[in-house]
Structure 1
Amino acid sequence: MLNYGQKPDLKLTPRQAAIIDQDYPKFSSNEIDRRRTLMAQAMARAGVDHLVAYAAFFSGGPVHWLSDWCTTYEAVLIFTPGRRDTIFIQFYNHLPQARALMPEVDIRWGGPSTLQSAIAELKQRGAGARRVGAVGGLPMGYFKALAGTFEDVVDLNPAYFGLRLIKSAEEVDWYRIAARFGDLAIEALRREIRPGLDEGDLGAITEGAWLPWRGSNVIHFFGTTSMHDPQVFVPRQHLTRRKLAKGDVISCEITANFWNHGGQVLRTFTLGEPLTPIYQKLHDTADAAYDAIFNVLRQGVHMRELAVGAKIIEDAGLTFYDDLVHGFGGGYLMPILGSPTRGNESLPDRTLEAGMMLVIQPNVITTDQTAGVQTGELVLVTDNGAESLHTAPRGPFHLGV
């Protein structure tokens, strides 16, 4: 575990270090203005004058993207181009810090009903029938109440997620910080994994790596099993009390957030022994699939070309269960290359663009679904190639060998 008193080195650039050193990290005014202009244009195309952005349970989504407010329990943002924003928040005791941190925004308590408070504000702004749009995961009751008041509500989520596909250079810095949090977790696991720990201990090691830097957990999935009698082929979402032992293989999928921006890193470890022949084949195939996909990434490449990794896996007589590739950053985004075990799903008829981010994550498994490995990470598409946002070595990591 971390010997407290000295934080692990984040190895950031001076620009990134300046971001994380803020008490409440914020984007530049130019960056926020860029996003708001794009959203205002989407609203105009949809015939919408006012936007209701919703977020809850410490997941910022469109509220954070448009305003810099990092939602706590619940937030409803009213965005009317050319007017000052109003954000209704819960709970009442969250108001003092919110107002101190967001002086440029009209911060109000949501009252007994956050949604009814928002509807009253929309009426005050003169919102007319069919002129209100919404983004975020609005609860069904909220959506019905809005639609009942304004005759209909325009769903602007497709437009919003389309805007999130391409990251600005400033956004990429935030994702690099979050990716570094995941790398710290991999470094901590390499130091601390030993026989006798259970999967819950692995979760504690993982989160402890980034908590000193105010990182927050999104996922830490682990699969642990004996290489000599494999029972797990994909990391578990709910961790067990299973004790680690010599001869185990451990696979993981980890995402930590830095102010609603996350990385994603996937790795495989062994304990006390090197990979057995079947696990070596699995990992070699996963590495080859990762490299093949990574090497085709660049602006202008058609998304269908990402299937090159699937062919390598199939040619090896193996298969995969988790997505081979998915878009990332602001949502679970295109392109998504899912497992053949879940049916045929075509890739979008679209080319890659610089600024897109993808997770390449070959979860290569045996066709009988007994043994599997996980590797991969978050990468950035550039004009002439791709760049990993992570620094942790690819592995596999043989511990105590």
Structure 2
Amino acid sequence: MTADREAALPPLFSPDEMARRRRALDEVLEAHGLTHVVLHGANRSGSAVQWLTGWPVTREALVVHSHGSTGVPDTLLVNFYNHVPQARRVAADADVRWAGSRTHETMLQELARRGALGGGVGVVGALPMIGHDTLRGAADRVLDLSGAYTRLRLRKSPEELAWLRRAAELTDLSCAAMRDGARPGSTEHELGALVEGAYLPLGGTSYIHYFSITSMAEPAQCVPSQWPSARRLHAGDVVSCELSTSWGVDYPGQLLRTFTVGAEPTAQYAELHAVADEALARVEAVLAPGVAPAEVVEAASVIEEAGFTTVDDLVHGLGGGYLPPVFGSRSRTLEPLPTTTFEAGMTVVVQPNVTTPDGTAGVQTGELLQVTDGGCARLHSFPRGMGRIA
């Protein structure tokens, strides 16, 4: 690939990495006695399509994949029609076509061409009801492989880890830009502009950036909001943020931090953050291959011992989706704790976002970590502890 052509494309994985993924999917098919699988995504959601072909889903995309032993390349069906040219450049190993006005009918035609309708077909992703009904009416067996696909995403390859490190660098830059550029009078909208302005010129893409602004003297918000407001910063406020910048759309960093505005933290916020820091340190000390979620919850129990609680998940996987294991702290465990243990190669967000029981005050701290053979490692380098704006 020439330098000019590389510059004209979004970030791409190597041919060896893409071949590894196809082999991994073939092993899933073999385990379930299948030869063919459909992968679906729509409205910029559906990570399996990009994982297998390199094409980030826009309006709608569907992949028909057959076991490598068939010798048939993947077919990528793309809507809208004007998205097809770039999809062909990005998904160079696939047969890329327009999905037509009825994607489910085009899917069925492709499966019939491959001789897939006389047996079973796997599905990954949220295939619309009309597509699901069409497939059920034509195939002998339809099997949901979304869970099996998710398990393929838990442990990251060396190339994926390199992308996540780059995403973490860009996320760190975005947080520094917010910290250094914000002033009393800045709105949440302007905080978002500072964040995005740090990574867009460098090729990063937006994943999330959530903010909470409230008075330390009279707090009324304990966690960031998902939609920004025109609320302005004032001296004496506290700002919490959850920032994620992606490299290649599906590979984000994640950084959670808290800043006071033009003032020292009040006693309440100093205590909240001290407890959060201690919980983060204790979780990091135990996080390693073979460790169960229950051990992590116990390590973070300093939160409840201090009389506080949490509102968000304590730990969740990230990188290729919001991945298992997902669980809260002891006082916020909404479901039974998962029994799956951590493995080397997983990337997880540890975020002891400590709040008061009444939900009026809270802090954000934490970040994306890599589980390694010897424990865990930071992917971010942004300073820890409570920061200061203005």
Structure 1 length-normalised TM: 0.91
Question: In the alignment, which of 92, 100, 111 is matched to residue 111 of structure 1?
Answer: 100
Query: Structure 1 residues 103, 334: closer, same or farther in 2, change over 3 A?
Result: closer
- Matched residue of 1:72: which SS? coil
RMSD (Å), alpha carbons: 1.7
- 2:80 partner amino acid: F
Q: Note the alpha carbon deviations across 1:271-297, whole angstroms, 9 max, x for none.
A: 010110000000000000001001111
The residue aligned with 1:158 is 147
Contact in 1 for aligned 2:117/2:139 (Cα 8 Å): yes
Range with greater deviation from structure 2 (317-326 or 145-154):
145-154
Paired with 1:137 and 1:174, the residues of 2 have a C-alpha distance of 26
CA contact (8 A) 1:321 1:340 kept: no
- Contact 2:258–2:363 (Cα < 8 Å) also in 1: yes
1:386 paired with 2:386, answer no
Question: Residues 325 and 389 of structure 1: is their aligned pair in 2 closer, same or farther, counting only changes over 3 Å?
Answer: same
Deviation, 1:343, is 5.1
Residue in 1 that maps onto 2:79:
90
Identity of aligned residues (%): 46
State the alpha-carbon separation in 1 of the partners of residues 16 and 90 from structure 2. 18
How far 1:151 sits from its partner (Å)? 4.3
- Name the structure 2 match of 1:36: 22
1:363 aligns with 2:353: yes
Which amino acid is the alignment partner of residue 125 of structure 1? R
Aligned-pair distance for 1:117?
0.7
Q: Distance in 2 between matches of 1:100 and 1:130?
A: 33
Q: Which residue of 2 aligns with 1:277?
A: 267
1:185-213 CA-to-partner distances (Å, cap 9, x unmatched) read 11101111101111111111111111112
Contact 1:327 1:334 (C-alpha < 8 Å) held by counterparts = yes
Q: Which amino acid aligns with 2:36?
A: H
Partner residue, 1:25:
11
1:173 to 138, 162, 165: 162
Q: Give the aligned residue type for 2:14.
A: S
Deviation at 1:308, TM superposition (A): 2.7
Among 43, 60, 85, which residue is 1:57 paired with? 43
> What's the offset of the Cα at 1:231?
0.3
Q: 1:222 is paired with a residue of what secondary structure? A: strand
1:234 paired to 2:223: yes
Work out whether residues 327 and 338 of structure 2, in 8 Å CA contact, stay in contact via their aligned partners in 1: no
| 1:328 counterpart letter in structure 2 | L
Give 1:22 deviation, angstroms. 7.5
Choose the corresponding residue for 1:76, options 54, 57, 62. 62
Secondary structure, in 3 states, of the residue corresponding to 2:136? Answer: helix
Partner residue, 2:280: 290
Deviates further, 272-281 or 96-105: 96-105
Secondary structure, counterpart of 2:221 in structure 1 = coil
Who is 2:123 aligned against? 134
- Unaligned regions of 5+ residues in structure 2, if any? 1-5
Q: Give the paired residue count.
A: 381
Equivalent residue number for residue 3 of structure 2: none
C-alpha displacement of 1:123: 0.4
Specify the SS of the correspondent of 2:196.
Answer: helix
CA shift, 1:180, in A, is 1.4
Q: 1:145 to 1:341 in 2, by over 3 A?
A: farther
**Residue 335 of structure 2 corresponds to residue 345 of structure 1:** yes
Report deviation, 1:122.
0.2
* Equivalent of residue 224 in structure 1, options 197, 205, 213: 213
| Alpha carbons 1:95, 1:109 under 8 Å: kept | yes
Q: Which runs of 5+ in 1 are unaligned?
A: 1-19
Contact 1:130 1:154 in 2 (8 A): no
Secondary structure at the aligned position of 1:179 is classed as: helix
SS of 2:10 mapped into structure 1: coil
1:101 Cα deviation (Å)? 3.3
Q: Say if 1:341 and 1:316 are closer, same or farther in 2 by CA, change over 3 A.
A: closer
| 1:128 to partner: Cα distance | 2.9
2:240 equivalent to 1:254:
no
Is 1:304 the counterpart of 2:314? The answer is no
SS at 1:223's partner residue?
A: strand
Read off the aligned partner of 2:380 and give its amino acid letter.
H
Cα shift readout 1:129-152 (whole Å, capped 9, x = no counterpart):
451111022222222221222144
Q: Distance in 2 between matches of 1:35 and 1:389?
A: 24
2:326 to 326, 333, 336: 336
> Partner of 1:189 in structure 2?
178
